[in-house]
Amino acid sequence: MIQLSARVHRVPQSRLATFAIALPLYRVFDYAVDGADELKPGARYRVPFANGARTGILLEPVESSSLDPSRIKAVLEKLDDGPVIDAHMLELSRWLAEYYLQPLGEVLFQCLPGYLRGARAHQPTRVKRYFLVDPDRERIDALEKRSPRQFELCRALLQNPAGLTAAGLKQVNPNWHGVVRALIERQLVRWDWLQADTPELPRRTDRPTPSTEQAGILNELESRMEGFAVHLLDGITGSGKTEIYLRLIEQKLALGRQVIYLVPEIGLTNQLVERVGQRFGACFVTSHSGLTELQRYRAWDRFRRGEVNIMLGTRSSLFSQADRLGLIIIDEEHDHSYRQEDGVRYHARDVAIKRAQMLDIPILLGSATPSLESINNCARDTYYRYCLDQRPTRFAPPAMQLIDTGDSKLTFGISARIFATIDKHLERHGQVLLYLNRRGFAPVVMCHECAWQALCPQCDARLTLHQSVQSLQCHHCGYCSGVPRCCPQCGNDEVRHYGIGTEQLEHGLAARYPQFPVLRIDRDAAGSREALRSRLEQLQSGDPCILIGTQMIAKGHDYPAITLSVILDADQALFSASYRASERLAQTLFQVAGRAGRGDREGESLVQTRFPSHPLLQALMRDDYRGIAERLLQERRELGFPPFARVVMFRADALELDPALQKLEQIKTLLQVAERFTGISCIGPMPALMTRRIGRYRAQLCLLSADYQALRAVLHDAMPQIQELPSGSRVNWTIDVDAYDL
């Protein structure tokens, strides 16, 4: 007894806790924290690390450490009073780290908005705005005698229907605090956060009445909006999927729930932001790479606090925290941009499904060209599938037509047949879309005397000519040089360029069609949001014009005046080494074709090719996406490729090839695949397809297996040792679970 009470009286000096630090290290760290502090998992601290300081996230208090007590350091500073990562997000992060075999510290930090990844204080500069609850003159006038100071403030608020901030109130009365408090108690005044980040758009009340098809699907979906389930909305382009999302969001908001709505690329979806704004007013935030760190942080914070109910954003918005999350929507679920390919490797769609399952809420995937993975999951009865086969507008998506270029002469990459069709559509006041997934002026620059080629000094890649800025650029590392006047190898005074990029196409078409605007949208031309906006306005105006672009224009937008869509470079993908190439090409072609004919004029879609008899192109002419997807799935099954197998890829890079290969050889030995299991193919180590990139040589080791449990078991046993392998500047290595490609 005496001993016990002695222990109770001892003031705790410090306590131990484990922390995750944003480093590619598969371990957590113990530090001592002031014993008087409440230890809140998910809060940030500054901790001593190596010879400096780092930001760490408190994971959990622990009773003891395996470290020698003398070696345990104390934290330097507490950065947050409460957790910045809530319990659910900690759990999801742990799952992500475990499933994708990524370091927990890196996973946790990438869940946070960039603004909070360092030591910046989590104190948003938010402003309260005060309003009159009810501008009732009589009640206000009644105050004049009884409480002149309250009367004075009310009068000022009456003159400012949009409300006043503290600064405004201070001008009326320097001691406004007490006065406002009294008015709030009397329920004459209320306050709200000043919502500066979301523009208030004029609300529209005229929602389209759902078509019979839409109504049927809405009915089914509505009955399944409680509890976890994955729903795939498989609807042709322009069939009104977005309209269904908006209806479901509306219902969730009415129940007081919040919604995360993910889209692949927001550049072209200004339209979508407007549509959501018109429907829901200012109760949503957006988050995408076009915003500053501070803006993204604000959006994240407002959603987290429940001030807004919709988070509309790109991939990483999935990690937005919310107490009342009721639905996750993933539009264009097949899109490759949901996969994060550097840093922490994960697939946002798959993590979203896990998140929905943890929260026991529904998740809705939508696409006109669903991924083979999702289609397969529908076939396995794990997803609900809903098909929309008609457009609510007048015309079905145009059937694609192959244009065989054969030996015909091309003018800046376009055949005469296609020019004739472009002429026809422009004459009839249609807008024309040309898809060419190659930016720059020309992809090849060479000397025809000695065959010298302009190559990137840092990558195994050619340099692309960008004529408007007179430079040669590497699209992989950003290397940039001037354009040589004569051949650097033999001195020949003529250096030629070959091939066509979007910049050249723009020049050529502008010269050929001086009477029509030619708009180019790619990363070079639409760099600034202003430039992009003005181009989009032109499209919105409905006047005839020509739109040229890379994959930025392939998806997501709805411009009813586009009547012709042309795919200029399907051929590249026909002979690709990637097993995903056919799926991606089919998706791109259906998406691009589907941009045409959305309004009240019928659309047309052309695919230019030198290989019109290629089986995939032939199939595209005969069949719809669903039929093609079934066939591709069958092929995958026969070849034993995903989704009928899982892929885990180890990658290594170094300043020379050998050390990278050696590292993977070590990993392979630790995996002991050959000794332990059959049914796991181990391919490599071998040099990566583009071996040298940004000055480093890259190699890969691929595990492929239909037996997921066996694959997991191999990894589970070997990972602790593999994780101990140092990853440093000499050789970096990473692991990629469910790698997108082989």
With CB under 5 to 8 Å by kind, the binding choice for 210 among Zn ion, ligand ADP, none is ligand ADP
With CB under 5 to 8 Å by kind, the binding choice for 237 among Zn ion, ligand ADP, none is ligand ADP
Q: Which one, 218 or 282, has the nearer CB to ligand ADP?
A: 218
Q: Find the shortest distance in angstroms from Cβ 698 to Zn ion.
A: 13
Name the burial class of residue 678, with classes exposed (0-12), middle (13-18) and buried (19+) by CB atoms within 10 angstroms of its CB.
Answer: exposed
Q: Find the shortest distance in angstroms from Cβ 286 to ligand ADP.
A: 18
Q: Which residues contact 120 (CB under 8 A, 6 or more apart)?
A: none
With CB under 5 to 8 Å by kind, the binding choice for 260 among Zn ion, ligand ADP, none is none
686-692 long-range CB contacts below 8 Å, 24 or more apart? 686/661, 687/657, 687/661, 688/651, 689/577, 690/459, 690/460, 690/461, 690/476, 691/460, 691/657, 692/458, 692/459, 692/460
Name the burial class of residue 605, with classes exposed (0-12), middle (13-18) and buried (19+) by CB atoms within 10 angstroms of its CB.
Answer: buried
Where along the sequence are the contacts to Zn ion (CB under 5 A)? Answer: 447, 449-450, 452, 456, 458-459, 474, 476-477, 479, 487, 489-490, 492
Distance CA 373, CA 644 (A): 9
Q: How many other C-beta atoms are found inside a 10 Å radius of the C-beta of residue 668? A: 18
- Backbone phi and psi for residue 364, each to the nearest 5 degrees, phi listed first: -115, 120
- Residue from 211, 458, 538, 727 in contact with ligand ADP (CB under 6 A): 211
Q: Please name which of 339, 383, 336 lies closest in space to residue 100, comparing C-alpha atoms.
A: 339
Distance CA 427, CA 439 (A): 28
Distance CA 441, CA 502 (A): 6
- Give the containing element (helix H, strand E) for 96: helix 87-99
Distance CA 687, CA 241 (A): 43
With CB under 5 to 8 Å by kind, the binding choice for 503 among Zn ion, ligand ADP, none is none
Distance CA 341, CA 688 (A): 15
Q: Which one, 113 or 235, has the nearer CB to ligand ADP?
A: 235
Q: Which one, 208 or 343, has the nearer CB to ligand ADP?
A: 208
**Three-class DSSP category at 658:** helix
Q: Which one, 199 or 208, has the nearer CB to ligand ADP?
A: 208
Distance CA 568, CA 631 (A): 25
Q: Find the shortest distance in angstroms from Cβ 209 to ligand ADP.
A: 6
Q: Which one, 221 or 711, has the nearer CB to ligand ADP?
A: 221
Q: Which one, 210 or 659, has the nearer CB to ligand ADP?
A: 210
Q: Which one, 237 or 608, has the nearer CB to ligand ADP?
A: 237
Angle at 488 between CA 456 and CA 507, to 5 degrees: 65
With CB under 5 to 8 Å by kind, the binding choice for 168 among Zn ion, ligand ADP, none is none
Q: Which one, 156 or 487, has the nearer CB to Zn ion?
A: 487
Q: Which one, 220 or 493, has the nearer CB to ligand ADP?
A: 220
- Residue from 61, 124, 210, 517 in contact with ligand ADP (CB under 6 A): 210
Distance CA 18, CA 470 (A): 54
- Helical spans, DSSP H, in 256-347: 270-280, 293-304
Q: Find the shortest distance in angstroms from Cβ 231 to ligand ADP.
A: 15
- Stretch of residues binding ligand ADP (CB under 6 A), selected from 156-164, 210-218, 352-360, 542-550: 210-218
With CB under 5 to 8 Å by kind, the binding choice for 392 among ligand ADP, Zn ion, none is ligand ADP
With CB under 5 to 8 Å by kind, the binding choice for 235 among ligand ADP, Zn ion, none is ligand ADP
With CB under 5 to 8 Å by kind, the binding choice for 458 among ligand ADP, Zn ion, none is Zn ion
Q: Find the shortest distance in angstroms from Cβ 215 to ligand ADP.
A: 9
Q: Find the shortest distance in angstroms from Cβ 377 to ligand ADP.
A: 21
Residue 453 is classified by DSSP as: B
- Stretch of residues binding ligand ADP (CB under 6 A), selected from 81-89, 209-217, 222-230, 254-262: 209-217
Q: Find the shortest distance in angstroms from Cβ 282 to ligand ADP.
A: 21
Q: Which one, 544 or 594, has the nearer CB to ligand ADP?
A: 594
- The 362-401 contact track toward ligand ADP, x by CB under 6 A, reads ------------------------------xx--------
Q: How many other C-beta atoms are found inside a 10 Å radius of the C-beta of residue 655? A: 12
**Contact 596/560 with Cβ under 8 angstroms?**
no
- The sign of the CA dihedral 585, 692, 340, 641 is positive
With CB under 5 to 8 Å by kind, the binding choice for 238 among Zn ion, ligand ADP, none is ligand ADP
With CB under 5 to 8 Å by kind, the binding choice for 239 among ligand ADP, Zn ion, none is ligand ADP
Q: Find the shortest distance in angstroms from Cβ 390 to ligand ADP.
A: 10
DSSP string covering 236-277: -TTSSHHHHHHHHHHHHHHTT-EEEEE-S--GGGHHHHHHHH
Q: Find the shortest distance in angstroms from Cβ 489 to Zn ion.
A: 5
Q: Find the shortest distance in angstroms from Cβ 592 to ligand ADP.
A: 13
Distance CA 525, CA 533 (A): 12
Distance CA 505, CA 520 (A): 9
Q: Which residues contact 525 (CB under 8 A, 6 or more apart)?
A: 502, 503, 506, 531
With CB under 5 to 8 Å by kind, the binding choice for 492 among ligand ADP, Zn ion, none is Zn ion
Q: Find the shortest distance in angstroms from Cβ 560 to ligand ADP.
A: 7
Size of residue set near ligand ADP by CB under 6 A: 16
With CB under 5 to 8 Å by kind, the binding choice for 479 among Zn ion, ligand ADP, none is Zn ion
Q: Find the shortest distance in angstroms from Cβ 732 to Zn ion.
A: 18
**Contact 97/75 with Cβ under 8 angstroms?**
no
Q: Which one, 21 or 244, has the nearer CB to ligand ADP?
A: 244
Considering only CA atoms, give the Rg of the chain: 30
Amino acid at 19: F
- The 539-578 contact track toward ligand ADP, x by CB under 6 A, reads -------------------x--------------------
**Contact 335/264 with Cβ under 8 angstroms?**
yes
DSSP string covering 493-548: S--EEES--HHHHHHHHHHH-TTS-EEEESTTTT-SHHHHHHHHHHHHHT---EEE
Q: Which one, 271 or 492, has the nearer CB to ligand ADP?
A: 271
With CB under 5 to 8 Å by kind, the binding choice for 240 among Zn ion, ligand ADP, none is ligand ADP
With CB under 5 to 8 Å by kind, the binding choice for 476 among ligand ADP, Zn ion, none is Zn ion
With CB under 5 to 8 Å by kind, the binding choice for 211 among ligand ADP, Zn ion, none is ligand ADP
- The 218-257 contact track toward ligand ADP, x by CB under 6 A, reads -----------------x-xxxxxxx--------------
Q: Find the shortest distance in angstroms from Cβ 380 to ligand ADP.
A: 25
Report in angstroms the alpha-carbon separations of 204 from 200, 240, 247, 275: 12, 18, 14, 9
Q: Which one, 446 or 713, has the nearer CB to Zn ion?
A: 446
Q: Please name which of 228, 222, 226, 221 lies closest in space to residue 386, comparing C-alpha atoms.
A: 221
With CB under 5 to 8 Å by kind, the binding choice for 490 among Zn ion, ligand ADP, none is Zn ion
Q: Which one, 247 or 520, has the nearer CB to ligand ADP?
A: 247
Q: Which one, 302 or 601, has the nearer CB to ligand ADP?
A: 601
Contacting residues toward ligand ADP, per CB under 6 A: 208-211, 214, 235, 237-243, 392-393, 558
